[in-house]
Amino acid sequence: MELYPAIDLRGGRCVRLHQGDFDRETVYDDDPVARAGAFAAAGSPWVHVVDLDGARTGEPANRSVVAAIAAALAGSGTRVQAGGGVRSAAAAEALLDAGIDRVVLGTAAVDDPALVSRLAAAHPGAVAVGVDVRGDEVAVRGWASGTGQAAADVVGRFADAGVAALVVTQILVDATMAGPDLDGLAALLSATDVDLVASGGVGSIAHLAALAELEVEGRRLAGAIVGKALYEGAFGLDDALDAVRGRRSS
């Protein structure tokens, strides 16, 4: 399982939103490019970047910052996965042209699954789908709107779409550090053969270890996104990398 340290962008700064609430924002860093560089220097295989302003409005408010992160990490060995407000082929390709290694479509994927298939065919290995769930209901447009669709149904829709991964965020635990939704993730592991990257709730090394050890019918998670726990100093990146690689000392 690979680690994805998160950089959530709002107004060009690194922030975290408690359970996706834009009125419950904590600012952690005014220099997201430097933060991404620190993650890369520590040996992280990925950095996960979200344009929160874009997710809410559909406009690429932080695209220049995302591009600057990609430029700073070019040649470092650390890949950049980015999403938030990517609602068209043009928006996805603009990010890929800026040096992003993998682009994540959420709202657009729910609204137009065929768009995902076209992009995945044109850019093999560079397209992922974001599945944001509140309980079991998929949410869109910066988590502001419910869809009435169950997570397993949405996940199943992309079985043959050629996507590199499904990024699953449980909104109810996001930025709470209360622990990931292991039951929900287990259900989705059994519902698809596509790689799953888990997001939401990690607050300790034990939580990361639980994600790394989660197994259903021989399938395990491909990755875990961690944000607030790193910014709050709950654990260091070195320990997190050891945990996802199964190198805990206890």
What residues act catalytically? 8, 132
> Do the strands 2-10 and 46-51 form a parallel or antiparallel pair, or are they unpaired?
parallel
| Contacts by 151-155, CB closer than 8 A, 24 or more apart | 151/184, 151/187, 151/188, 152/187, 152/188, 152/191, 154/110, 155/131, 155/188, 155/191, 155/192, 155/194
Query: How far apart are alpha carbons 209 and 159 in whole angstroms?
Result: 27
Contact predicate 113/127, CB 8 Å: no
Per the DSSP assignment, residues forming a β-bridge with 198 are 168, 224
Q: Please name the residues in contact with 114: beta carbons below 8 A apart, sequence gap of 6 or more.
A: none
Six token digits for residue 163: 């996507």
Contact predicate 244/208, CB 8 Å: yes
